[in-house]
Amino acid sequence: QVQLVESGGGVMQAGGSLRLSCVVSGGTFSAYSMGWFRQAPGKEREFVAAISYRLDETYIRDSVKGRFTISRDNAKKTVYLQMNSLKPEDTAVYYCAANRFGVIKGSSWRPREYEYWGQGTQVSVSS
């Protein structure tokens, strides 16, 4: 059974930074591509970032490019989302997800591509 547990969320003022972590247990973490998604109240879940299993490719949402960075440590079975220069519009519940297809592809922004999901961590950014 694959389980994903996110942590690192919190309340931050605009301009601040947070680093989210997602630890994966069960399954074969090093073979999965990993993604981060977010969902704000009343809105659909949206893609934020993804990273391939070999760490050699990342895919970042345009609105967070230059501010957010996705990384992973296969030895620790952990994926990270470093978020800098936070804005109020970044407020959402952030979810990590695992895709058994390890390579980034054109559809990696679709939530339905990911088989496993964490429970989410809240990020709130005040102006």
pLDDT tens for 17-31 read 999 999 999 999 999
Quick check: 117 and 4 in contact, CB under 8 A? yes
pLDDT at 104: 86
Average pLDDT, the chain: 95
pLDDT at 88: 97
> How many percent of the chain have pLDDT more than 70?
100
Task: Please give the angle made by the CA atoms of 30, 82 and 71, to the nearest 5 degrees.
Answer: 20
pLDDT at 55: 74
* Cα atoms found within 13 Å of the Cα of residue 79, Cβ hemisphere only: 32
Contacts of 97 (CB under 8 A, 6+ apart): 4, 34, 35, 36, 37, 111, 114, 116, 117, 118
Closest CA to 113 of 43, 56, 38, 32: 32
Higher pLDDT, 84 or 54: 84
Rounded to whole angstroms, the Cα distance separating 49 from 35 reads 6
Rounded to whole angstroms, the Cα distance separating 36 from 38 reads 7
pLDDT at 23: 98
Give the residue-averaged pLDDT of 74-100: 97
* pLDDT(105) > 90: no
pLDDT at 89: 96
Q: Which residue has the tokens 């102006």?
A: 127
pLDDT at 10: 96
